[in-house]
Amino acid sequence: MVIEMDKEKLTIYWPDTSCMDIEEVKFCRFFCKEKSMSMSAGESLDLYWIDYDPGISIEKLLSQNNASLILVVTDPEILLSYTAIMSMVRCVKKIGYATGPVYNLTDYSNQQADILTPYLNITSLQEIISEFYTKETFCHEVKMLDPSCIIYPLDYFDRLPSSKIQCSFLDFAKMDFPKNVDRAALVHRFGDYYESERADLIELIPQDVKEVLDVGCAQGGYGRRLKSVRADISIIGVEMNHTMAVKAQQYYDHVFVGKLEEISFERNFDLINCGDVVEHLYNPWGMLNKLHTLLKIRGNLVLSVPNIGHWSIVRDLLKGRFEYVPVGLLCISHIRWFTEQSIKKALKDAGFEIDIFKRQQLPPTKSGKEFVRSMVREKWADENSLLTNEFIIRAKKI
């Protein structure tokens, strides 16, 4: 998409901060900056990228700037795009004060994007971003802005007394000054995936279950939720990452830190939860055998597994594209890949009998729908497989 506008000079301040020692989080920081730089490039923008310490004062940061507009990022796990930036630039130039975008994830209700179609990879994200763009300026004044990404006109700071810009941009964003939201500018945020409560997996727990093992418990969202709805259940967690295991401990009766294969348990369990875990393992088939031994007779295994046969992946592969992302179907730490046929076979070979098999199917994008229709029409693919992004399964030990 080409947005006709005179070439605009813009300085982008990108936060240089430390992060948790988690593979996906570390990759996310790298990925978001590199991908933002490539997605923001365009003929109408002259961009200057500056890494900055979020604690430094505005006055000191502005001394490094020679552009008429500045875009300040405080969350290093967002994705900027040319379309979103140009839309916000247009808003700033028309309205004359600070402007923020809308997000897929935000605590600020006035900046929650109205996304009717979910996106699951970079290709479909770019499609949705383009659909958000409108030729008409679509912005309105608000009292508070999500500080993660804000564009400021430089002359706004020139009009302020020096005492007002001795604070950081994060603190300044909380102050009372004119603010604006551009509802045509969409910015993606990856969010805290590691605190997911997985209510969809918890609802598959039978009423007679009393002892649960949660493999890959991350920061404990599943345990927190389970304890709130089933206080009678004893729950043990296993987590390889020490940082996350410490956070999860408050919600579990005990959390083991390490690989499941190297841990000894004094009991067997009524149910084992394995939410988006097996695809991260070098030997998921051996792990399923191990889980089988840890269950009581007729015990339950509940798991979720992403589908490599999803339309978004198939379409990209047909175009020679396979791009890892921090979290999602093509998560950077995924090692193995499953289709419906292969995960069913793996469970059967490990001694399990499936009693619940659900296909999570998020609605495809406009072009995704066209792709699915064409693949099915030509009998090159199964519609159910193409539409399924994740399998939700409950299986019994036999």
DSSP string, 339-361: -HHHHHHHHHHTTEEEEEEEEE-
The CATH number corresponding to 8-189 among 3.30.56.10, 3.40.50.410, 1.10.3720.10, 3.90.550.10 equals 3.90.550.10
In this prediction, residue 197 carries a pLDDT of 93
Q: Which residue has the higher pLDDT, 80 or 96?
A: 80
Q: Is the pLDDT assigned to residue 6 strictly greater than 80?
A: no
Q: Which residues of 25-37 are buried (b: 16+ CB within 10 A; e: fewer)?
A: bebbbebbbebbe
In this prediction, residue 324 carries a pLDDT of 96
pLDDT class of 2 with cuts at 50, 70, 90: very low
Phi, psi of 97 (to 5 degrees): -145, 180
In this prediction, residue 1 carries a pLDDT of 45
In this prediction, residue 272 carries a pLDDT of 98
The pLDDT tens digits of the residues spanning 344-390 come to: 999 999 999 999 999 999 999 999 999 999 999 999 999 999 999 99
In this prediction, residue 134 carries a pLDDT of 74
Please state the domain extents for the chain. 8-189, 193-397
The pLDDT tens digits of the residues spanning 282-322 come to: 999 999 999 999 999 999 999 999 999 999 999 999 999 99
Helix (H) or strand (E) holding 123: helix 122-132
Domain at 193-397, CATH class = alpha beta
The predicted model gives 35-42 an average pLDDT of 95
